[in-house]
Amino acid sequence: MGRGRTLKAVAPRPGGEALRTPRADRADTGGVSVDRDPARIAAMFGRLVPRYDLMNRVMTVGLDRRWRRLAAAEAVPLPGDRLLDVCCGTGDLTLALAERWPGCTVIGLDFTPGMVARARRKATARALPGPPPTFVEGDLLALPFADGEFAAVTVGWGVRNVPDLRRALAEMTRVTRPGGRVVCLESTRPPAGLGRRFHALWSERLVPLLGRVLAGDAAAYEYLPASVRDFPDAEGLAALMVAAGLERVRFRRLGLGAVALHVGVKPAPGDRTPVRRQA
């Protein structure tokens, strides 16, 4: 992945447990306890559609586009391959895949109808170097695809919103072909230090304020930092990816450590590459 210096490879703990295990009573769902009821989550994102892209640009000072391009570059398919972007929202990561890999068939999936409709409109309006992506309504926790259909499955700021993180990772892994990749871009808690203090100020104070002023929905943007707090850290997410059956799992931190880009490979038959251990 990109420049090696920012990457970490993660070895599973015996039994594939998260490196920093969330509370034991939450461990079977991957460590989440904030209310992630799917109907509530879909209704919240449905309300956010009109201002969703604007909020992303403002909250990240425009860096979210670069981060999505980095995630898309990690798919590394062959011409003619199929790529899937789950929790696609308004389609920005799906479109980044279509721009980066014009020889591939790209599908975006989301369970919020308003998000899918907005994504379709954006794809129609965008001049792309290849065929436009198609967008479907569907649930990440029960993907409507066969095993091994995709060369890579991506997700951007999606897995933090599901009530069963292990199942989400298992589904993404299931529809990835052997040798293919699962790529995950997600908000995360920065390591202790200046980055974490800045992140706390930014996410706990500034983001809800921006949510109130720009999106008219402070509650949705209070959910964002709460859901990051109540989510495995980058090492924990990497360990859960290993537990889902991926290997060579690695991640890099972006945005002062507030965003993590994880990549894992689905083992191919006869692939005996050992998981690399952290130095």
Ligand X SMILES: C[S@@+](CC[C@H](N)C(=O)[O-])C[C@H]1O[C@@H](n2cnc3c(N)ncnc32)[C@H](O)[C@@H]1O
User: In the complex, which residues of this chain contact ligand X (CB under 6 A)?
Assistant: 38, 41-42, 45, 56, 87-89, 92-93, 110-112, 115, 139-141, 156-158, 161-162
The closest residue (CB) to ligand X is 89
* CA pair distance 264, 181, nearest whole angstrom: 6
Q: Which position has the token pair 């721009």?
A: 99
Task: List the structure tokens of 236.
Answer: 């924990």
Q: In angstroms, what is the minimal distance from the CB of 169 to ligand X? A: 12
What would you measure as the largest C-alpha separation in the chain, in angstroms? 55
Compare residues 9 and 44 and give the one whose CB is closer to ligand X.
44
- Nearest distance, CB of residue 50 and ligand X, angstroms: 13
Kind of pairing between the strands at 150-156 and 259-265:
unpaired
CA 122, CA 171: separation in Å to the nearest integer?
27
Min separation Cβ 264 and ligand X, Å = 18
- Smallest separation, CB 155 to ligand X (Å): 7
Closer of 12 and 211 to ligand X (Cβ): 211
**Do the Cβ atoms of 158 and 140 come closer than 8 Å?**
yes
Q: Nearer to ligand X by C-beta: 111 or 251?
A: 111
Q: Cβ of residue 14: shortest distance to ligand X, in angstroms? A: 30
The smaller minimum CB distance to ligand X, of residues 19 and 71, is found at 71
Provide the phi-psi class of 139: left if phi over 0, else alpha when psi is between -120 and 50, else beta. beta
With CA atoms as reference, report the closest residue to 18 among 270, 276, 231, 223. Answer: 231
Whose Cβ is closer to ligand X: residue 161's or residue 173's? Answer: 161
